[in-house]
Amino acid sequence: MNFLKVEGNGQLSGTVKAAGAKNAMTKLLVASLLSPKKCIFYNVPNIGDVEITVNLCSEIGSKIAWDKEKGVLEIQTKEIKTSYIPQRFSGANRIPILLIGALLGRTEEDIIIPTVGGDDIGKRSVDFHVEALRKLGAVVEYREMKKEGAYLAHAHNGLSGNIIHLPFPSVGATENALLASVRAKGCTVIKNAATEPEIVDLILFLQKMGAIVSLDVDRTIRIEGTKESQEVEHTVLSDRIEAASFGMAAIATEGNVLVEGAEHLHMISFLNKLRALGGGFAVKQNGIEFFHQGPLRGGIHLETDVHPGFMTDWQQPYTVLLTQALGTSVVHETVYDNRFGYTNVLKEMGADIEPFTQCLGGKRCRYGLLNYQHSIVVKGGTPLEGKEITIPDLRAGFAYVMAALIASGNSMIEGMYFLDRGYENLVAKLQNLGAKIELVSSPNPTPEIVSAL
Ligand code: EPU
């Protein structure tokens, strides 16, 4: 098993390039299944979740050529060989459930999808997906099997456009409804849709493929069903989570990092909160430069939200920044019910963080009366100490690496698998920025390694 060995009191400086977005590329691969024509993607991130999705598509019948060095991937699915997704993909990530939306328009066979997984950060139900697909005429059921359950779906009578009103602007449910409606007969209207930049990237891809899709200002997406398919070339938008993560790591370590490819338009709410904290940034022609410009100021009230709000996936490294900011701050997580579990490790490292079940701050969210610990109070300005850490999920993983970089002493971090799912070449990128970090195969460093730390 691999462990990350991180030396504390580090400082990051230099230039790093943000990769293509995980949460766009994985969906674009699924969307390519709607068409028998070739699709070529550029700026493809070489990460675990893309690898899993490539394997899923190959299973279904896609022919794929992926040049990982160049970040170019060609995919073509002339025919759907099978719509039974094997159990080995069960729990891998959130992507398999989206295959229902894409495959309903491509096959009249039954579609069988094993239980979806993803990070353990809350209930992560798929009820909105199922309801949306049913609105379009699909039959979708969850069946308990011998070992594990699976979703069974079909549209033997075809799909027909309809009005879908999502109870919450769920990213995945919007994508599933969008994919299915492209091949449905007539017009579909998705109200209260998610409008994250990765969804807009998916819409751009679908339009290039032949779909007729429009996005209104009031979270309404309209799709006119079509059978048209064209070859597509598409450059994946850059990863705003990775970009912000490096930016926050630069500021936490009192360094200076230019994140090439960081897209200003997609990071507005993040940059506002960074400025409120006293973190420095300058938007450049080819990216955003992040730098320390004096002590960080607490007294922040942060509320995560759907786009254009502050992303829930920025919350964990931002909380690490708050542990170093002078003053008391409040974070209210409104997207997931259980996304503060990772703070226990930060507390063991020396942070002063208290969880609350109440909605602390401006708005009453849907978790307000449900007894979930979804708010925290952070008393900042506490030194952190390195320790042995186990990563529970992807974004918590980056927050731990960041905490380990600013801690006194050294840390050993287990769970590199999570980071590999979403951060391309993370160790090499951090080493290039001057971090003393390396992968080792033993949790107990030999005396020589200890002295080298
Ligand atoms: N929800 C439901 N029912 C549903 C769908 C969602 O109750 O049918 C709830 C979820 O339980 C959650 C909230 O709605 O509390 C938001 O879920 P959403 O569907 O928006 O999230 P997702 O599609 O499962 C994607 C990203 C997440 C990111 C969220 C929010 C991917 C593969 N994952 O998840 O990214 O946090 O949107 O922006 O796109 C990550 O990259 O580390 C990550 C977790």
Nearest ligand 1 atom to the CA of 23 is 39
Q: Give me the pLDDT at residue 446, please.
A: 47
Q: Give me the pLDDT at residue 118, please.
A: 61
Active-site choice (49, 119, 239, 393):
119
Mean pLDDT for each 10-residue chunk of the chain (453 residues)?
Answer: 93 98 98 98 97 96 98 98 88 87 94 78 82 97 81 94 98 98 97 98 98 95 95 98 98 98 98 98 98 96 97 98 98 95 98 96 85 96 97 96 98 95 97 97 54 36
Whether 2-18+239-441 shares its CATH topology with 82-226 is answered: yes
Those residues whose C-beta lies under 8 Å from the C-beta of residue 38, and which sit 6 or more positions away, are: 74, 75, 76, 231, 232
Q: Give me the pLDDT at residue 122, please.
A: 62
Q: How far does residue 127's CA lie from ligand 1's centre (Å)?
A: 12
Q: Give me the pLDDT at residue 220, please.
A: 98
Q: What is the CATH number of domain 2-18+239-441?
A: 3.65.10.10
Q: Is residue 119 among the annotated active site residues?
A: yes
Q: Choose which residue among 113, 124, 201, 241 to substitute to test ligand 1 binding: the one with the highest number of ligand atoms within 8 A of its C-beta.
A: 124
| DSSP string across 263-316 | -GGGGHHHHHHHHHHTEEEEEETTEEEEEE-S--B---EEEB-STTSB-GGGHH
Q: Give me the pLDDT at residue 30, please.
A: 98
- 314 burial (CB, 10 Å; 0-12 / 13-18 / 19+) is buried
Q: What is the CATH number of domain 82-226?
A: 3.65.10.10
Q: Give me the pLDDT at residue 114, please.
A: 86
What interhelical angle do 315-324 and 268-277 show, nearest 10? 10
Q: Give me the pLDDT at residue 121, please.
A: 58
* Ligand 1 site residues, Cβ closer than 6 angstroms: 22-23, 26, 94, 119, 122-129, 168, 170-173, 194, 312-313, 335-336, 394-395, 422
Q: Where are the domains of the chain?
A: 2-18+239-441, 82-226
In 285-406, beta strands by DSSP E: 287-292, 301-303, 328-332, 352-356, 375-379, 388-390
The answer to whether 415 touches 404, Cβ cutoff 8 Å, is: no
- Per residue in 341-364, pLDDT (tens digit) is 999 999 999 999 999 999 998 788
